[in-house]
Chains A and B, each alone.
Chain A
Amino acid sequence: MNYGIVSQEQLEQIDTILSSKLIKLGVDCVIIIDMAGNIITAKDNGESKYDVYSFAALAAGNFATVDAMAKLVGEAEFSLLFHKGKESNIHFSKIDDELLLISMFGKEISLGFLRLNVVEAIEQIRKVWEGNNV
């Protein structure tokens, strides 16, 4: 699979999806990374100042660890990975075998509402992505 290069057009389409589906909703920051820890794209609400590169490296490691633990207990994968804090939360969702969507959001958004929107965003991103690989 050639996921190493994405066209400008595709990135713009993905950015639009992230903005309309998640940032608009009130999510602070959304990052798409690959499992090696590279950032594909990052979008924020203009206020958050996260160090997204370190974040991506740690998130890829975190997800890979959880995936390995799933295999140890005989699960194909744990589909929900969510960290809850007092003020901010992090939600991880797999787009495909190589890509991960990470949303950072505050306490004003409910997890269920976020998940619904993440699922829709992922469906749309997959379509853009598949266009890349045919």
Chain B
Amino acid sequence: MSFINLKDKVVQVKIVYYGPGRCGKTTNLEYVNRKFRNQIQSEMVSLKTHGDRTLFFDFLPFDMGQIKGYDIKIQLYTVPGQVKYNATRKLVLKGVDGVVFVADAMEKQREKNIRSLNQLHENLQAYKESIFKIPLVIQYNKIDLKDHGVPVLPTAVLRKDLNSRLRVPDFEASAITGYNVAATLKKIISLTVVSIQKKLL
């Protein structure tokens, strides 16, 4: 749940990047951290293993400017993607306002994407949230790999697998090159802020 401080006129919004292991959640945040450096006052916090895998979460706060006199503070989190870390994934999802589901477009990851999305559904239910109601954007990441001869699923297939029932905004992207990373972020921020406004009215 977003927290609204009426005294200092600040709204804190929590957006979580969710997805299977090695799909590029941290890479998304790293790109945002580089690209929007002038809007970010603090350092990105990463809790990772020696092998550079996310252990608990990454955290990146930044200011989005004002809406109706309120400062909007966006707080981006990632979850650890590895299967064994579901307990920590659940903890990070607490109080979430909006979710970006990062899918791995590589052919061999097809099943893992579906499993991870199903688990997101279950984990949100534990907090009495619904994947059908929460602001959600899907990103088909690693689309650049097809230029390097790696078999990548066509977007139509990914869409059918992951977004046929949800019907949320989705993007092809490449977190490593930055393609559509900002577009994904802008979309989830606007969906989330609109949903918070609706809740308040």
Contact = CB atoms under 8 A, between A and B. Distances in A.
Contacts of B94: 35-36, 60, 64
Contacts of B92: 61
Contact of B14 (A3, A6, A36, A64): A36
Contacts of A61: 47, 56-57, 91-92
Interface in B14-62: 14, 41-43, 45, 47, 56-57, 59, 61
A78 interface: no
B5 to A, nearest CB: 7
Interface residues of A, number: 26
Interface residues of B, number: 29
Interface core residue of A4, A11, A40 (most chain B CB under 10 Å)? A4
B12 interface: yes
Determine which residue in A34, A37, A39, A65 has the highest number of CB atoms from chain B within 10 A of its CB, and name it. A37
B42 A51 contact: yes
Given A37-B14, A57-B75, A57-B77, A8 B91 contact: no
Given A36-B14, A39-B12, A53-B75, A4 B5 contact: no
Interface of B: 1-7, 12, 14, 41-43, 45, 47, 56-57, 59, 61, 73, 75, 77, 87-88, 91-92, 94-96, 200
